[in-house]
Amino acid sequence: MFQLNELQYDALRELFNLGVGRAARSLSLMVQDAVELSTPVVTLVKPADVATTLLGSEFRQLSLVMIDFTGPFDAQAILLFPERNALAIISHMLDPDMSPEELSEFEQEAMCEIGNIILNACISALADEFAVEFQGGLPMHYFSDTDSLPLLDLGGDRIVLLLQIHLTMRQERIQGHLIFLLSVSSLAILRECVDAYLTRVGVI
């Protein structure tokens, strides 16, 4: 299977950390309260293993926001939270007094926007640092359970860049995953971009 070396992992962690930092600033500004996003843990897995990785955690019912990005490499970016946590995030952002049960119509739009902010921030950080351009579509929001994750239907020539992040807001800590679904050829280009970045910053 396609691999990244330690240096490449470090670079990606650093780049996504930049993006996540931007997202945290935007979110904090929006809710006028401190939103913290942890440094992501980056791993590379097969699509079929995503479910195993997630099944091992508390995830059952999931809330997903997806955005398609095209550019030097194409990626389907997915932000994934357990549904219960997603509701907690939304109720905190919309109105701290609102109970999760009361959320309905607002929730999809708000979830979409939060996913939009986090995913765009990550992609724009990559675009900045790699000095490339991506075209990003509008976000879409779905609910799903781990058994019917749309990822699982995909063929074997795809690879998943999995980022685990924690979102902390008003004492609530929420675990989420950022998933970047790439084809093998896209991953090869991503790797080239990472190497070019490492050369530019003088590491290799």
Partner 1 sequence: MDREFGQQLIDHLQAGIILLDQEGRVLAWNAWMVRHSRLTFSEVVTRRLDEVFPEMQHTRLQDAIEQALRFRLSSMLAPGLNAAVLPLDHQPGDRRLARRMQPLIYVTPMRHAQYTCLIQIQDMTAMVRRERRLRAQSTQLIATTYRDALTGVGNRRRLDHDLAAIFGDAQNKQHSLALLMIDIDDFKAYNDCLGHPKGDECLILVATALQEGLRQRGDCVSRYGGEEFALPLPETDRDLACSIAERLRLLVEGLGLPHPASRVGQLITVSIGVSAMVPVGEQSPSDLIGQADQALYQAKDEGRNRCVYFGADPHAVPLCPHPLGPIAVSSSRR
Alpha helices (H) in 32-104, listed in sequence order: 47-55, 83-94
CA dist., res. 175 & res. 152, Å (int): 21
Report, in Å, the least distance between residue 116 CB and partner 1.
Answer: 6
38 binds partner 1 (CB under 8 A): no
123 binds partner 1 (CB under 8 A): yes
Identity at 100, one-letter amino acid code: P
119-153 as b/e: b if 16+ CB within 10 A? bbbbbbbbbebbeeebebeebebeeeebeebebee
- Name which position in 37, 127, 163, 174 contacts partner 1 (CB under 8 A): 127
- Name which position in 137, 143, 173, 199 contacts partner 1 (CB under 8 A): 137
Report, in Å, the least distance between residue 16 CB and partner 1.
Answer: 16
Which residues sit at the interface with partner 1, rule CB under 8 A?
26, 29-31, 67, 93-94, 98, 102, 104-106, 109-110, 112-114, 116-117, 120, 123-124, 127-128, 133-139
